Structure 1
């Protein structure tokens, strides 16, 4: 059976490819990667191809092997910290790398996945910032005295909380009035 490379158009026998140890390992590793990222991963791996020769199967297997665990666990370590990511975030990071290549902003060939991890750190950092802002907005704009719940709340509970909050405010106002009356006499 003949197969054609979608990146370079090379045609080869599948049997011949799988008889090569590096090619066989690359195929086995590739089968462990998330399918939705496949096309972008192939294009990304092309960023490692030297200008004067082809990317060897052994090098391809090594590069894919370095991606398997992070892609399966949706976690990687960078800068002494563990980062979590989604497939969508990885797809965006890969696309960013390809866009930078197209704009001539990458020095090729790449030597490691370091730049990919840095792009992904930036995306993770932005997502964490959005989540933190949402938590702060929720905390800041939630009426004081209201309980945070994780499920349905009865109308009686809401009314009780509102009455308690109103009573507490009235007590506070009365205490301020009393203090003002004492200072004026």
Structure 2
């Protein structure tokens, strides 16, 4: 069954050919249940392994996808790391370094450098307006701690004046 045409080379894309190829079928089954942000980031990342003068085989793409998904159990961290890696390497490629990736070492470095506060959940399509939610598993600051920090900061900024905190309405 013909699906559509490739936007790059304009060749026909056949669903039955993808399903009949074992590695292609497994790759589709692996990517399909992923949330949209992670799925897109993973596909873009795998594309960085494609050699300049040939295509990436489905079996190699499947192996890369499996290796990538086991790098982190936290899908939000992985999504952010993949996005940062793709953006960084695409920028490097436009400046004259078109070499394909050969391993996951760069992604591992990006994963280890990500701060948990920097990981935000993707916007929920059901809400209408895109929102950002900061994921944190750390300490939740109490009102008293927040008050003490505010007073300490005000004392630094205005050393001779005592200021009363503004009440939240």
Scaled by the length of structure 2, the TM-score of the pair is: 0.57
Aligned to 1:68: 69
Aligned to 1:30: 31
Q: Does 1:104 find its partner at 2:92?
A: yes
For residues 110 and 27 of structure 2, the distance between their equivalents in structure 1, rounded to whole angstroms, comes to 25
Give the structure with the larger helix fraction. 1
Aligned to 2:167: none
Maintained 8 Å contact 2:41/2:83: yes
CA separation of 1:42 and 1:10: change in aligned 2, threshold 3 A: farther
Unaligned runs of 5+ in 1: 75-85, 143-185
For residues 33 and 67 of structure 2, the distance between their equivalents in structure 1, rounded to whole angstroms, comes to 12
Q: Which moved more, 1:3-12 or 1:115-124?
A: 3-12
The RMSD of aligned alpha carbons is 3.7
Unaligned runs of 5+ in 2: 119-135, 150-169
Aligned to 1:119: 110
CA separation of 1:104 and 1:8: change in aligned 2, threshold 3 A: farther
CA separation of 1:115 and 1:7: change in aligned 2, threshold 3 A: farther
SS of equivalent to 2:59? helix
Higher Cα Rg, which structure: 1
For residues 68 and 8 of structure 2, the distance between their equivalents in structure 1, rounded to whole angstroms, comes to 19
Aligned to 2:41: 40
Maintained 8 Å contact 1:93/1:120: yes
